[in-house]
Amino acid sequence: MTSSILNFEKKIGIKFKDKTLIKFALTHKSADKKNNNEKLEFLGDRVIGLILSKKLLELYPNETEGVLDKKFANLVNRITCCKVGWAIGLQNYIIIGNKTKKINQIDEKIISDACEAVIGAVFVEKGFLITEIFVLKIWKNEIINSKITILDSKTKLQEYSLKKYKKLPIYHLVSSTGPKHKPSYKISVKIIGSKEYFGLGNSKQQAEQDAASKILSAKNIN
């Protein structure tokens, strides 16, 4: 484990005095129900939010709060956190209960949570300034892409439904299967006058996005 931690430290360019801290950040609850990354994930989520919201205000001083909110949501959602985590090689260092399992990019929640936990650990160990530099470095490409505000499928459907019917889309959890570390969700969505459309995903958010994408496509909503 020490060798793995040293390799990860080298990978991200940050050396921890407290090796236990970074070990917790890399430990999924399936491997240790008590000493895992849940609390550091909680902290890291808030730290990332503070750093990226501050950066957006600096980059886009003339944008409205609504536009900033959409840019922010795209930067901090699970899909983006997973993408960032994957880019720094987190999948090779996360400790899970099933030691024979290889973590893949579809394990979105595991990678995203670990990414937030690592940020939390960096903050505890190094303080805000170093954490800010680190976050802005690994989120660099995502921040550059934030120049273009792309609405996700769920937001597009919500705006369409509110504008046309003054009602929100209705989502319903159809099923939840699979082990806790790799769940599979099926979720339906409908708007006024439509049939139900179904989406699948390894998280509820992912399944909702998939369902929203299908109804948008079926109704040719751009």
Q: In a structure prediction context, what are the per-residue pLDDT tens digits for the chain, which is 222 residues long?
A: 578 899 999 999 999 999 999 999 999 999 899 999 999 999 999 999 999 999 999 999 988 887 888 899 889 999 999 999 999 999 999 999 887 778 887 789 999 999 999 999 999 999 999 999 999 999 999 999 887 665 678 888 988 999 899 999 999 999 999 887 788 999 999 999 999 999 999 889 889 999 999 999 998 886
Nearest to 66 by CA among 135, 143, 151: 151
Q: The domain at 2-145 falls in which architecture?
A: Orthogonal Bundle (1.10)
Greatest Cα pair distance in the chain: 60
**CATH topology agreement for domains 2-145 and 153-218:** no
Closest CA to 154 of 112, 204, 80: 204
Q: Domain map of the chain by residue range? A: 2-145, 153-218
- Look up tokens 């996005």; give the residue: 209
Q: What is the pTM of this model?
A: 0.69
Q: Report the catalytic residues.
A: 45, 116
125-133 contacts, C-beta under 8 A, 24 or more apart: 125/14, 125/16, 125/17, 125/18, 125/21, 125/22, 126/14, 128/47, 130/14, 131/47, 131/51, 132/51
Collapsing DSSP states into helix, strand and coil, what is residue 102? coil
- Say which CATH class 153-218 falls into: alpha beta
